[in-house]
Amino acid sequence: MGLLRDRMQQDLKLSGYSPSTCKIYLVYARLFAKFHMRSPAEMSEPEIRQFLLYLIEERKISRQTFRQVRAGLTFLYTVTLRRPTEVDHLAIPRREVRLPEVLSGTEVAGLLAAVRNPKYHGLLMTMYAAGLRVAEACRLRPEDLDSKRMLILVRGGKGGRDRYTMLSERLLVFLRDYWRKTRPQGWLFPSRAGTQHVTPDAVRLVFRGALRAAGISKKVTPHVLRHSFATHLLETGVDITVVQTLLGHASVRATQVYTHISVEHLGRTRSPLDLLGTPDSSVLG
């Protein structure tokens, strides 16, 4: 794509997209050009539809991936090429509602116990204790921990939004000991060289090893700790709007998926049958 790729990359940065989103959109634009062996500037809606159908029928991509590809090509034609009519009528598939995998409390404890390195142990503990995404945990700085208010400042979360989440007392004790022993500079969890923060890929590698060591066979990524955080909070009776705020969800609809997998949360809901003939039956009218 050459110059067109550079222009698209600049447009993505100017639009405030995260580095990961920029990378994904550029990859899909390159695949589109490679599929037709032509520049996107020379193509229009028929070629876009043909490419999307190929991905669905031949590559068997998921609906979520389809939506990402469509979003990337929509940005390319709407913003960079200034030809929005080429993508105005592309179908938008309905979202798949898939319940996220979660770990039990026993599995979380076993996983953390399997991580011997204090830096990675602390990082994974932080993800579970505060519901952080892996990139958010990697970018933490010591000054982001507010021990007076027991809060963690999460900078540049999804959508570029900052937020506060809880700081666990148990986590604070561990991180204070970790900081005294290692004295990390700049980043709370620095890379081996110390000049940058640890990378999400390095965390994923450690996480996979911890799964094996803990004997956990579930096919999960570090993001399962965030899912488990939300689910376990609901199971302990925390209001869903509080969980929404802690996770940084813009809408409570994104948080409601966890109510479907919180068995304990559902189990505490009383059937109206159980209210009949009791003092609480007045709420039924």
- Domain check: are 210 and 109 in the same one? yes
Average pLDDT over residues 63-77: 93
Give CB contacts under 8 A, 24+ apart, made by 165-168: 165/130, 165/131, 165/132, 165/246, 165/247, 165/248, 166/129, 166/130, 166/246, 167/129, 167/130, 168/129, 168/130
Give just the sign of the alpha carbon dihedral 252, 71, 45, 32.
Answer: negative
Region of 237 please: left (phi>0), alpha (psi -120 to 50) or beta.
Answer: left
96 belongs to a structural domain? no
99 belongs to a structural domain? no
Among 5, 30, 83, 158, the active-site one is 158
Average pLDDT over residues 95-112: 83
93 belongs to a structural domain? no
- Domain check: are 115 and 46 in the same one? no
What percentage of the chain reaches a pLDDT higher than 70? 89
Among 70, 119, 121, 133, the active-site one is 133
Among 226, 227, 232, 265, the active-site one is 226
Q: List the domain range (segments joined by +) for residue 78.
A: 3-86
- Domain check: are 34 and 155 in the same one? no
Q: How many domains does the chain have?
A: 2
- Given the structure tokens 């940084």, which residue do they identify? 248
CA dihedral 228, 234, 236, 238 (to 10 degrees): 130
Does the pTM surpass 0.75? The reply is no
Q: Which of 10-24, 31-45, 236-250 has the highest mean pLDDT?
A: 31-45
Q: Catalytic: 36?
A: no
Residue 232: CB atoms within 10 Å: 22
- Domain check: are 242 and 163 in the same one? yes
C-alpha 178/C-alpha 243 separation (Å) is 28
- Domain check: are 79 and 114 in the same one? no
**Which SS3 state, helix, strand or coil, does residue 222 take?**
coil
Q: Which of 53, 86, 119 is the last residue of a domain?
A: 86
- What is the tens place of the pLDDT at every residue in 172-210? 999 999 999 999 989 999 998 878 999 999 999 999 999
- Domain check: are 116 and 204 in the same one? yes
CATH number, residue 57:
1.10.150.130
User: With 80 as the cut, is the pLDDT of residue 275 above it?
Assistant: no
**Which SS3 state, helix, strand or coil, does residue 253 take?**
helix
- Domain check: are 72 and 116 in the same one? no
User: With 90 as the cut, is the pLDDT of residue 237 above it?
Assistant: no
97 belongs to a structural domain? no
Average pLDDT over residues 43-60: 94
- Domain check: are 255 and 148 in the same one? yes
Average pLDDT over residues 246-273: 67
91 belongs to a structural domain? no
Q: Catalytic: 249?
A: yes
Per DSSP, helices labelled H in 114-258 are 118-130, 134-138, 169-182, 200-214, 224-235, 240-247, 252-255
Q: Catalytic: 223?
A: yes
- Domain check: are 197 and 255 in the same one? yes
Among 25, 77, 178, 258, the active-site one is 258
Residue 258 pLDDT: 74
273 belongs to a structural domain? no
- Domain check: are 79 and 150 in the same one? no
- Given the structure tokens 């990359």, which residue do they identify? 9
- Domain check: are 125 and 253 in the same one? yes
Q: Which of 58, 86, 114 is the last residue of a domain?
A: 86
Among 70, 139, 163, 249, the active-site one is 249
Q: Which of 86, 121, 154 is the last residue of a domain?
A: 86
Q: Catalytic: 158?
A: yes
284 belongs to a structural domain? no
Average pLDDT over residues 139-145: 95
CATH number, residue 194:
1.10.443.10
- Domain check: are 60 and 157 in the same one? no
- Given the structure tokens 């689910």, which residue do they identify? 231
Let me know if 101 is exposed, middle or buried by CB neighbors in 10 A (0-12, 13-18, 19+). middle
* Mean of the per-residue pLDDT values of the chain: 88
Among 227, 244, 16, smallest CA distance to 107 is for 227
Residue 140 pLDDT: 96
Residue 231 pLDDT: 86
189 belongs to a structural domain? yes
Average pLDDT over residues 208-218: 96
Residue 236 pLDDT: 81
